[in-house]
Structure formats: structure tokens, C-alpha cells
């Protein structure tokens, strides 16, 4: 069983790619005014900062939008894409703008509230995409710049699950970025129904967990 102290150590010592892989199976919960929502991270993507052409911080770009990317490991970075709020966790020391985008979540607690937050959506459609899971969890913009270790949105390592197999894939929606388009910086639980763009014939009975 892992502790929050150990998670902090990992976020401060490992590479962003290693952290993305480590976060697969991590339990994440949000304490909202209506109740707790939570689930297991089953799909995420690493973004490698200044040299990564797909990262918002490529070339050390500094705008008000990306301010949180330059904060310490564990900082919550939120941005809006096509009206959807997207969740990222910063993974390196202050000044090195790298992070992991949480792409999909397997619901575990507060599922009825998550369905309500998603307008009645159910099954994988509830949280099999980055905007979907943020809406399901009830994550709001006020969490921008706060810490994943001390805010209402937090990691619970004691509940972390272990995947039988972790897929390493190209990131989704990264066209025309040269080598960065095909680089395997996306990590997902093989056989889990909640990963983005999962094919039904690839879903495993155990959903990919040990």
C-alpha cells in the first residue's frame, strides 16, 4: 500500500513519462458540495514541456493560461478546449513545465452524482474522455493552481489498483507535430472499457486489473 508521502516523492524524482505510467490505476476523488465523486485513472498522457511540440509550454511559452505549469509538482493545471475543462497534474519541480493529462477514468464512488453531472450519461460515456471525466467528477475552474495533495480534488494512493498490462500508445489529437505525433506518451489499462476510443472486442472480463 502506498502513501501520499511516497506519491509526492515519485512526482519529485521520476520523469514525467514514468509518472504518467505510475498514475495508471491511481484513485482520484473530488469532494464537492453535493458529495464525493471518485474513480481510477485508466488513461493518461505525458507532456514533456519546452521540447514537446504538443505541450502548452513548448519553447518555454509563458502566458497567463499556462502559469500553473511552472509551479511545483502536484499543481493542478486546468484549461478549456472546445468548451470542455481538461485536467492536468504538474510533474516536475518549479520552473520545469511538464505534466500529465488525465484522459479517462473508471468511476468508483458517487456514480449517481457523476451521472447527474453528465446529464444522465452512463457506462463508458460517463468518463471515457478528458472533458467527460472532469464534468463527471464535478471539477471546477477554481481548482486551477491548487495542489492535488491538499485541495478538494486529491489522489488517494491507498486505493490504487494495479493493471495487468499498461498500453503505451501515441497521444490522441496531436496531428502535424513531427516525432511528437507518434511518440508513445499515452498510457492506458489494456482491456478497460473506460479508456478513450476503446474497441468493444478488446474489453477484458476483468477490465484489465490484477
Provide the domain count of the chain.
Answer: 1
Q: List pLDDT tens digits, range 37-87.
A: 999 999 999 999 999 999 999 999 999 999 999 999 999 999 998 899 999
Q: List pLDDT tens digits, range 82-96.
A: 899 999 999 999 999
Whole-number pLDDT of residue 66: 95
How far, in Å, CA of 209 to CA of 114, rounded?
A: 22
Whole-number pLDDT of residue 2: 86
Whole-number pLDDT of residue 109: 98
Whole-number pLDDT of residue 86: 98
Whole-number pLDDT of residue 1: 82
Give domain status of residue 30, yes or no: yes
Ranges of residues in the chain with a pLDDT under 50 are none
Whole-number pLDDT of residue 123: 96
- Of the CA atoms within 13 Å of residue 128, those in its CB half-sphere come to 14
Its domain, for residue 70, covers 4-202
Whole-number pLDDT of residue 159: 97
Give domain status of residue 207, yes or no: no
104 contact partners, CB below 8 Å, separation of at least 6: 41, 42, 43, 44, 127, 128, 129, 130, 132, 133, 188, 194, 195, 196
Give domain status of residue 122, yes or no: yes
Give domain status of residue 144, yes or no: yes
CATH code of residue 63: 3.10.300.10
Give domain status of residue 118, yes or no: yes
How far, in Å, CA of 100 to CA of 118, rounded?
A: 23
Amino acid at each position: 500500500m502506498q502513501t501520499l508521502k511516497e506519491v509526492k516523492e515519485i512526482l519529485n524524482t521520476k520523469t514525467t513519462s514514468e509518472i504518467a505510467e505510475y498514475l495508471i490505476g491511481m484513485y482520484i476523488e473530488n469532494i464537492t458540495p453535493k458529495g464525493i465523486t471518485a474513480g481510477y485513472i485508466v488513461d493518461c498522457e505525458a507532456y514533456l514541456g519546452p521540447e514537446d511540440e504538443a505541450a502548452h509550454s513548448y519553447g518555454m511559452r509563458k502566458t497567463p493560461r499556462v502559469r500553473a505549469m511552472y509551479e511545483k509538482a502536484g499543481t493542478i493545471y486546468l484549461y478549456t478546449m472546445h468548451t470542455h475543462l481538461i485536467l492536468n497534474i504538474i510533474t516536475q519541480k518549479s520552473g520545469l513545465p511538464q505534466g500529465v493529462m488525465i484522459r479517462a477514468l473508471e468511476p468508483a464512488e458517487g456514480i449517481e452524482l457523476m451521472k447527474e453531472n453528465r446529464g444522465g450519461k452512463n457506462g463508458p460515456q460517463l468518463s471515457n474522455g478528458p472533458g467527460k471525466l472532469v464534468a463527471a467528477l464535478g471539477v471546477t475552474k477554481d481548482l486551477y493552481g491548487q495542489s492535488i495533495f491538499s485541495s478538494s480534488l486529491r489522489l488517494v494512493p491507498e486505493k490504487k489498483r494495479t493493471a495487468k498490462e499498461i498500453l503505451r500508445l501515441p497521444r490522441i489529437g496531436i496531428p502535424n507535430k513531427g516525432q511528437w505525433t507518434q511518440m508513445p506518451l499515452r498510457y492506458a489499462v489494456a482491456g478497460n472499457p473506460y479508456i478513450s476510443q476503446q474497441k468493444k472486442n478488446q474489453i477484458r472480463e476483468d477490465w484489465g486489473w490484477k
